[in-house]
């Protein structure tokens, strides 16, 4: 499923690049493709929650040491990658810099997830409240001189970004994922029989993509943009390189 989510994201980013760098008339921030982007982010966050329950169960089965130090290291590592994205997007276009995108969100969600890893119904309820709050504050804009709540879902006036995924409502989706993981994989074992698709080439490819999703995420945009330049679809002028 993470491999599927990555393919969805790569498709959306390809269309975004064609719109932003090549000027193709694609409505990537509204309509179908806007909803497609939200569905992709939602699937990623849901899987973050499920993966955390599996990770903790496997950790406890193998080690006697506490799980939370590993959780903190993992969260800060992904958050660090998010800051690399911030630097890269600032170099491409300072007016669209990613200050709190999907990697920042996943990193912070992992850091916050510790107290909620055992919950099921409580996570569904709290996640629903956070999602509802995110919907309620959507469109609320703070003064341009006050950017400090951008991470929460309250951007300043004039804010624009290649990628913006605040804690409200998206951490609520991660809590749903934790609840789903505890429901479907109590103790790290599936409660339902799952078909074995491991011999099918598409399943093997998607599994490989899912296992390397973070590295592929960091690499896919430079690779796609380079290919678009080589194909003559995007000019270097659009990248600010000439």
pLDDT tens, position by position, 41-97: 999 999 999 999 999 999 988 888 889 999 999 999 999 999 999 999 999 889 999
Looking at residue 126, its pLDDT comes to 97
Give residue limits of the domains in the chain: 23-203
Q: pLDDT by residue (tens digit) across 144-165?
A: 999 999 999 999 999 999 999 9
What are the DSSP calls for 119-165, one per residue? -SHHHHHHHHHHHHHHHHHTT--B-TT--TTGGGT-PBTT---S-B-
Q: pLDDT by residue (tens digit) across 180-200?
A: 999 999 988 899 888 888 788
Rounded Cα gap, residues 227 and 225, in angstroms: 5
Burial-class residue 30 by CB neighbours within 10 Å (0-12, 13-18, 19+).
Answer: exposed
- Which pTM does this prediction carry? 0.93
């Amino acid at each position: 499923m993470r491999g599927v989510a990555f393919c969805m994201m790569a498709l959306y980013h390809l269309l975004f690049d064609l719109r932003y760098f090549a000027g193709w008339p694609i409505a990537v921030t509204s309509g179908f493709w806007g909803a497609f982007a939200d569905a992709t982010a939602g699937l990623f966050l849901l899987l973050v929650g499920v993966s955390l329950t599996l990770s903790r169960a496997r950790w406890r089965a193998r080690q006697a040491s506490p799980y939370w130090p590993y959780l903190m290291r993992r969260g800060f590592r992904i958050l660090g990658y998010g800051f690399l994205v911030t630097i890269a997007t600032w170099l491409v276009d300072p007016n669209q810099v990613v200050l709190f995108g999907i990697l920042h969100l996943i990193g912070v969600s992992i850091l916050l997830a510790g107290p909620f890893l055992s919950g099921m119904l409580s996570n569904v309820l709290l996640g629903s409240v956070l999602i509802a709050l995110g919907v309620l504050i959507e469109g609320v804009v703070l003064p341009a001189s006050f950017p400090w709540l951008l991470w929460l879902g309250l951007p300043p006036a004039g804010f624009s970004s290649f990628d913006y995924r605040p804690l409200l409502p998206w951490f609520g989706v991660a809590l749903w994922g934790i609840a789903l993981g505890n429901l479907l994989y109590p103790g790290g074992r599936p409660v339902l029989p799952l078909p074995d698709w491991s011999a099918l080439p598409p399943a093997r490819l998607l599994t490989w993509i899912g296992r390397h999703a973070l590295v592929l995420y960091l690499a896919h945009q430079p690779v796609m943009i380079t290919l678009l330049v080589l194909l003559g679809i995007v000019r270097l002028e659009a990248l600010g390189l000439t």
